[in-house]
Structure 1
């Protein structure tokens, strides 16, 4: 016959209650408020995202600040990534003329392996948090040649 101490039974009870509380919190009507910011199989240009590469997954989360009146270098991302603009405004551009305007609170599922840049034509710094789903040891962004000849937004 197995005997449990009061401590073990109390601890087990706490684990069960906590587990039920967590499960309850994620159900509709629970105390947590969950808002889906983005969910898609396509990037912002409407094209399907590529499959995930093989290898050890590595998640990178960056906070990027683009000063007012500045733009990012021409670049491409080698992995699937998505971001949320925390403040300011940002316009992302492709070389073939597509663009998407973001304001604070907007989310973006980024382009993969397609050259693009972001421009902050607002009056305050744009701040974005970007989540990259990459492979350990691989770069998530590749800077391309300067795009001085690219049209300003």
Structure 2
């Protein structure tokens, strides 16, 4: 049941950013990603056993802004709607994302993001979490 709910929400998120033609009666669905690994190849963990809580965020990062080092203890995925985002692991490994590109984020790995270039970054991110638990933890 959890898997069906998660897949339904991901499909709805993809529809929000799909390339349906304005004024057309045709619905277009484009699979942006389908994987069981994060962007660095690490296998995704099992879903939490507690009460599921879905969070869908529309994140705006001003151009030139670098996010603090953080991790996500839950599975999450997103789509960059505008701008260019560089995601960097503590090891220095980096992923460069541009408008329209998806990301399956790292789970339980420290990383940071930076809005590179002159355009602000806007990214929609879906988190499959557990009620009462954090979806992001900042490193102090």
TM-score (norm 1): 0.74
> Segments of 4+ in structure 1 off by > 2 A?
none
**Partner of residue 119 from structure 2, selected from 120, 124, 133:** 124
Which position in structure 1 is the counterpart of 2:54?
59
Which position in structure 1 is the counterpart of 2:20?
none
CA RMSD across the alignment:
1.1
Which position in structure 2 is the counterpart of 1:48?
43
Higher-Rg member (1/2): 1
Matched residue pairs, number? 116
Q: 1:122 and 1:59 mapped to 2: Cα distance?
A: 31
TM-score (norm 2): 0.80
Which position in structure 2 is the counterpart of 1:114?
109
Q: 2:83·2:116 contact (CA, 8 Å) conserved in 1?
A: no
SS at match of 2:116: coil
Query: Within 5 A, what are the aligned runs for 1:4-153?
Result: 31-145=26-140
Q: 2:117 and 2:96 mapped to 1: Cα distance?
A: 11
